[in-house]
A and B are shown apart, each in its own frame.
Chain A
Amino acid sequence: MATIQEEILEEFYRRLEKADGFTEAKRKKVRDLFGGSKKPKAADLVTVFSENPKENLP
């Protein structure tokens, strides 16, 4: 049975799909962080939000 926190997180993920800048990869990482056995720390989220695709062009 889903807890209230789980219900809220599911809706949170759904809304992030429509939010600017939240790519599928980022959303997956956020979901993995909150779905893991340990609670995510702010530093983990800062890392995820700061990961940007590097331009490989010369």
Chain B
Amino acid sequence: MTFKRPNSAGFLVLAILAGLCAVALVDPALAQTAADATKDAAPAAPVPNKGDVAWMLTSSALVLMMSIPGLALFYGGLVRTKNMASVLTQVFAIVSMIGVTWTLYGYSMAFSDGGSMTAYVGGFSKAFMHGVDGSSTAATFSNGVVIPELAYFVFQMTFAMITPALIVGAFAERIKFSAVMLFILLWSTLIYYPIAHWVWYVAAPDDVANAAKALAAATDAAAKSAAQAKLDSVTSSVGWLAGAGALDFAGGTVVHINAGIAGLVGALIIGKRVGYGKDLMAPHSLTMTMIGASLLWVGWFGFNAGSNLEANGTTAVAFVNTMVATAGAALSWLLCEWMLKGKPSLLGICSGAVAGLVAVTPASGFAGTIGALVLGLVVSPVCLFFVSSVKNTFGYDDALDVFGVHCVGGIVGALGTGILVNPALGGVGITDYTNITGNNAGTYDLVTQMIAQGKAVLATLVWSGVGSAILYKVVDVIVGLRPSVEQEREGLDITDHGERAYNY
């Protein structure tokens, strides 16, 4: 028996990471100063509510459960036995890698002020958790309500984990593990963190209120113009899509359209699986897929209802919408398939549930209950059309239908949100919590809102689609995307990981 010398590159990376962490640990003094400065600015700082904290930490754990084991099993059941360990490892490894990069710089890129670039990307002021500790707080959507920043940090981390993990379904069974890891490292850094910033970096309601109060209190012209400038800087220091008034409650654009288009581009660039259209590529375990879909459904309550950042009435709205839309979509997929293909299938009802969860994501806190039900009923036929007719017509091998379910479902949801937020349809209307210029706060206009929604969809499709294409090419040059035909036939479990998912 011979032992191969371990790859030294891995150790080098670890050593560098350890070094950087050590540097970050040395400057708690700096962090302290920053925290003190914030305290001075807001003398009566609100204290986090215990119920909110408990709910946000619970939600974070629920969203982690969506990725592992939920998504991993949902995807894993759909591949052939020889690639089961490969899919499970990819999802688990992505979750772990993002857990590291989010802590080191991802959170800062998504949720800190990017200075002159802040419409498009955050800065590095919170890199290495600078100034983020047990006493710092993050704003919610209500005045006078905050949650611990660490709770916000870890909740958003779980979103950053699942989004890239969604992509691997598109090119499952035919990509090298090294290529997946490098691609996801680049993609999360250059595509996900900026898009999260575009949509979710909004002004804290308290900052807006304080600035507005200062403006009202200003007496002479000089103080007035200074206060107005302060208010403008607060309300304009937001991601550009948030500023454009696009509504996305829990991440239909940021998570699903984003991952879905990246998946489609990957499926096109990497090419079809060997034997696609000829060999039997039936799912190896619909049992696992059903377990995975069910875990996704449960975890999604954390994803959608947690996105309210507090435990209150809107949280219940999002929770119930998630339940109702998903039930409607699962049933509607089952019935459509029964009518069109002759049999109601387990994979069909599971796919419908996921499509419903995707579609209700952006609408969850905005639509009324019946609106959410209609959204669920509508999304399934559209996704079914894409995963069967469109995919077969164009012949792309989106192995696990990441595009057909997540991107298409996400677009249906994003546009549906623009319609269903209408108070006349039971929606909550455009909530006025930040006074962001131009977000139509307090009013609802279908055309204006649909333009904003369309802008968000298109921007995401273009940035993620084009950006991903470039990143796939870069990864192809550096490590190569595809295994050899022989390796692919043998299965990635053995060739990439040296183990089998099943030994019986």
Question: Do A and B form a real pair?
Answer: no
